[in-house]
Amino acid sequence: MADEIQAKAMEFERNRNQLMNVSAQKQQLQMQQTALANSVEELAKTKEKKVYKAVGNILVQAETAEAKKELQEKKESIELRIKTLQKQEDSLINRLNKLKSEIESAQKGFSAGTEEKAKEESEKPRKK
């Protein structure tokens, strides 16, 4: 019984760490999404025919419409990844809640069993 509780606790900890990683990834992607949305918005406002875009460590000139299209595609790709991470996050949260309930139930059963054994031991006649 104690081994089962320990195994569930270890699984809970692994899932908790995984949830933290997924949440961090999602947060980073959300920041990128916001930056891309702002860039797309600014490109929509500009009347310039050409803009500069970052390619590695350099800036190159590009058509405004093409740059806007590329940014929009990146934004959509990130949105899809965020949705996927959200589903993973929800699944992990549900799994953690289930494990928490299982661990609590097992601990209650374990402590109740331990109390019964202690009671039985105290009720046994003692040898002198």
- CATH code of 83's domain: 1.10.287.370
Q: Which pLDDT band holds residue 111 (cuts at 50, 70, 90)? A: confident
Q: Is the pTM of the predicted complex or chain greater than 0.85?
A: no
Give the pLDDT confidence of 53-68 residue by residue, as tens digits.
Answer: 999 999 999 999 999 9
What is the extent of the structural domain holding 22? 2-112
48 found inside a domain:
yes
If we measure between CA atoms, which residue out of 12, 14, 24 comes closest to residue 85? 24
Q: Flag whether 117 is in a domain.
A: no
Domain annotation covers residue 126: no
Task: Provide the number of structural domains found in the chain.
Answer: 1
128 inside domain: no
Q: Is residue 53 part of a domain?
A: yes
Asked whether the CA dihedral 83, 85, 89, 94 is positive or negative, the reply is positive
Tokens of 82: 């965020």
For 65, 66, 98, the CA distances from 70, given in Å and listed in that order, are: 9, 6, 42
Q: How many CB atoms lie within 10 A of CB 45?
A: 8
Dist. CA 24–CA 108, nearest whole Å: 34
